[in-house]
Amino acid sequence: MKRIISTPDAPKAIATYSQAVEANGILYISGQIAIDPATGKLVEGGIEEQTRQVMKNIGAILNAAGYTYKDVVKTSCLISDMASYQKVNSIYGTFFPENPPSRAAYAVAGLPLGSLIEIETIACH
């Protein structure tokens, strides 16, 4: 059985997808970009501000589904410029201070709305 997760505390989907779907005790969070859910716009600033917003959006979805960052087992980070990798990593790491999830990081040519970063997440109980 699958359960669709939706919360006003994270950005609304900008295409045909759900914020997250839970199936068999596994939560699949769609790729989150740095949209401020209050304004519906990308946050101002650079990669650090955008990474923080992405992680906040992920946290809001985790919370809405009854999960925490400790339940995250895998993430995929899509970054517009790998020269920003260390900055992304330093902020990302503050959300996973112990036992971080497995992760892949990719450089990509373009992200929705000109975002500098997108992160998709898998969590389980």
- Can you give the pLDDT at residue 1? 87
Closest residue by Cα to residue 16 from 8, 27, 4: 4
- Superfamily for 2-124? RutC-like (3.30.1330.40)
Q: Does the predicted TM-score (pTM) go above 0.85? A: yes
Q: Is the pLDDT of residue 13 over 90?
A: no
Q: Delimit the domains of the chain by residue range.
A: 2-124
pLDDT in tens, 19-37: 999 999 999 999 999 999 9
Residue 77: strand pairing partners: 105, 119
pLDDT above 90: residue 14: no
The average pLDDT across 28-53 equals: 96
Q: Given this model, what pLDDT does residue 15 score?
A: 86
Long-range CB contact pairs, 52-59, < 8 A, 24+:
52/91, 54/117, 54/118, 54/119, 55/91, 55/92, 55/95, 55/119, 57/10, 57/11, 57/32, 58/10, 58/29, 58/32, 58/119, 58/121, 59/95
Give mean pLDDT, residues 108-121.
95
pLDDT in tens, 53-99: 999 999 999 999 999 999 999 999 999 999 999 999 999 999 999 99
